[in-house]
Amino acid sequence: MALYEVTTKQEFEEKALNSDKPVLVDFWAPWCPPCRAMAPILHKIAEETEFDVVKVDTEASAENAHLAQEYRVQGIPNMKIFVDGKEVAELIGMKPKQTLIDALEKAVN
């Protein structure tokens, strides 16, 4: 559906927490090779499915760093699925595209 890169808590709340459908949130950093390797997979999910992907660069702003702390991100890539503003799943490390899609579809049901 769409891919958003957020740099403020307000953007995060708008795109991830206030969405009316499951959202995949990717906490990442540019220096992280697995994070960079996940980027094309996340772009494909955003393009090929009805799900939104929100990317949070944990080092892009102080607000993003605080979001990573708030959501207990201890290692990256760290992908969380939010439904109705609540975290319902967490996937840590590199994951195949289908694994992420399956987790999003499971969150719908």
Which are the catalytic amino acids?
A: 32, 35
Handedness of CA 108, 38, 45, 58 (dihedral sign): positive
Cβ burial, residue 30 (10 Å; 0-12/13-18/19+)? exposed
Structural element, H or E, at residue 90: strand 86-92
Structural element, H or E, at residue 1: none
